[in-house]
Amino acid sequence: MGSAWSRLVNDRPGYSAPVLATYVPKAPSVTGGAPWLFTPGDRPARPRVPVRRGLPGAVLFDRDGTLIQDVPYNGDPARVRLMPHARAAVDAVREWGVPVGVVTNQSGVARGLLTPGAVEAVLRRVEELLGPFDIWAVCPHGPADDCGCRKPAPGLVHAACAALGTDPRRAVVLGDIGADLAAARAAGARGVLVPNAVTRPEEIADAARTAPDLLTAVRGLPAGAGDAP
């Protein structure tokens, strides 16, 4: 029997055929105001090392412009390219035994530019390049949808932390724009800005914490684990 995700793709006219669906979004409605949560499904659980004192309870990465190059409204896995040091940064968090997740706005769904199948296909390509994540929290809504999950709102961070059993106050969000840090702050989490070519100067100036690249950002997390958000 197909998963809820594959049924969603098959039952919506015009949506692409699903990739083998091992992920199940907990809230598949685009208009319902809740994020999509993708979990590992039937994939064997990754062995977890007990989280050491002084480390965050979870590290949540923005997707576009942070883990992978930002290609607007991309639904083509062949166009996925990693950002510098992305694999080393994610692997470093995994080595600590800290859960890793992704929190990403994908308004192309609401705009009719992305299908659910395309979102999942890109997700799968990212995991081919970076390994499995413990949770993906995806906002499929547009700016006018008045949802609570589209960054800078805190809903994605709250949903990801709830799925991981982690207090948001122990989580860290790594992103490349001010909305990522605003979502972290609103959720009570710590945010670290990793600027790129499109990050605005005022976003850098407003950020409490910045890092020149993703690996440097991750390496600095234990030292700042006790900081207030």
Could you give the angle at the alpha carbon of 138 between the alpha carbons of 78 and 100, nearest 5°?
85
- Catalytic (active site) residue 64: yes
Report which DSSP code applies to 97. T
Contact 36, 156 (CB under 8 A): no
- Catalytic (active site) residue 11: no
Among positive and negative, which fits the CA dihedral 105, 110, 114, 120?
positive
Report in angstroms the alpha-carbon separations of 27 from 34, 188, 225.
6, 23, 32
**Helical (H) or strand (E) element with 11:** helix 4-11
The strand ranges marked E within the chain are 36-38, 58-61, 100-105, 135-139, 171-175, 190-193
Strand partners, 104: 138
Please identify which of the residues 62, 134, 176, 180 carries the catalytic annotation: 62
Tokens coding 115: 């299908």
Please identify which of the residues 64, 134, 176, 180 carries the catalytic annotation: 64
Distance CA 164, CA 152 (A): 21
**Residues taking part in catalysis:** 62, 64
